Amino acid sequence: MIQTSKQTDEWRQASGAWSKASEKAAAPTECWCLHGAVGAASDWRVLAAKLAEGGLATRAVDLWRFLQCESVPMPEFAKLLNAEAAGEVARGQKRILVGYSMGGRLAMHALLDGGPWDAAVIISANPGIRDPAESSARRSTDALWATQALTLGWDDFLTKWSAQAILNGAIRDEREDKKLIQRRREIARSFVDWSVGNQTPLWDRLSSITIPVLWVAGENDTKFCAFAQEAAALAENFQIAIAPETGHRVPWERGDWLAERIREMVAKLA
């Protein structure tokens, strides 16, 4: 997989900041971050370090643990996540739900289910496919990915995944990539349970979300820019932010920019 030395160094430096930040007392605001497909909670380390510089805490959610024992449809995941967040001991924190790509779609379900969220950031995510034929095609594509996640050599699978035009190489340390093999069964299951092809389109329900939501996309990711623009136009409490000269992976291509947008959102909540 392709990864620049700068990306690798930044990821490793952020690991130290991540560990130190986790040892600190609770910050006034905590971002609960949901990773993307074939992702990991550790993917958020670099952004978490940048958010910590502005006094924001981060809780990166390991999505694969929800699929360890059985299939969990997206609406059921929403209930589980919200119950987990609501069950936390109250420490006067505001909670921001942050979701990227697949994690963004899961975040939408959590917002529609309610939960203890004060605001949300949805990054490079699709609220749903409206065309039944397109949905069917996507289910077939994701079923193939599920099979490959289980049957291909792990390095071969990861290389094939990151070679997609929408993506831009690796986003994590090579050692973390290798650890993901321990989650290959859950990753395969996610291509079925959490496929956008199996997702009921959420477009008509989004306006029922009453908390502030920031819809984020990369300028060069035209398809998801269009999704963000359409979603942001649905309610006055929705805003849009387009990352300049950026593709699908906004948190890793424009981490400083995204951290600043999240800090701006939090400042408005005070």
pLDDT at 197: 97
Residues forming beta bridges with residue 243, ordered by sequence position: 218
Is the CB of residue 29 less than 8 Å from the CB of residue 96? yes
Where does the pLDDT of residue 174 fall: very low under 50, low under 70, confident under 90, or very high at 90 and above?
Answer: confident
pLDDT at 106: 98
Decide if pLDDT at 173 tops 80.
no
Count of structural domains within the chain: 1
pLDDT tens profile 213-260: 999 999 999 999 999 999 999 999 999 999 999 999 999 999 999 999
Decide if pLDDT at 16 tops 90.
no
d(CA 127, CA 34): 15
Higher pLDDT among residues 7 and 205, named by residue: 205
pTM for this entry: 0.89
Residue from 268, 252, 267 nearest 54 by CA: 267
Is the CB of residue 60 less than 8 Å from the CB of residue 48? yes
pLDDT at 178: 83
Copy the structure tokens of residue 169.
């190489």
Residues listed for the chain: 270
- Work out the percent of the chain whose per-residue pLDDT is above 70: 86
Give the domain CATH number at 225: 3.40.50.1820
Decide if pLDDT at 11 tops 80.
no
Copy the structure tokens of residue 253.
């291509």
pLDDT at 90: 53
Q: Exposure of 168 by Cβ count < 10 A (0-12 exposed, 13-18 middle, 19+ buried)?
A: middle
Decide if pLDDT at 20 tops 80.
no
CA quadruple 37, 42, 48, 49: dihedral, nearest 10: -140
Is the CB of residue 14 less than 8 Å from the CB of residue 225? no
Where does the pLDDT of residue 151 fall: very low under 50, low under 70, confident under 90, or very high at 90 and above?
Answer: very high
pLDDT tens profile 59-115: 999 999 999 999 999 999 999 999 999 987 655 579 999 999 999 999 999 999 999
- Which of 10-19, 50-59, 100-109, 173-182 is predicted with the least confidence, judged by mean pLDDT? 10-19
Long-range contacts of 158-163 (CB under 8 A, 24+ apart): 158/1, 158/38, 159/1, 161/38, 162/1, 162/2
Higher pLDDT among residues 27 and 97, named by residue: 97
Number of alpha helices (DSSP H) and beta strands (DSSP E) in the chain: 11, 6
pLDDT averaged over every residue in the chain: 89
For residue 46, the enclosing domain spans: 5-269
Copy the structure tokens of residue 241.
């932010």
pLDDT tens profile 183-225: 999 999 999 999 999 999 999 999 999 999 999 999 999 999 9
Higher pLDDT among residues 177 and 98, named by residue: 98
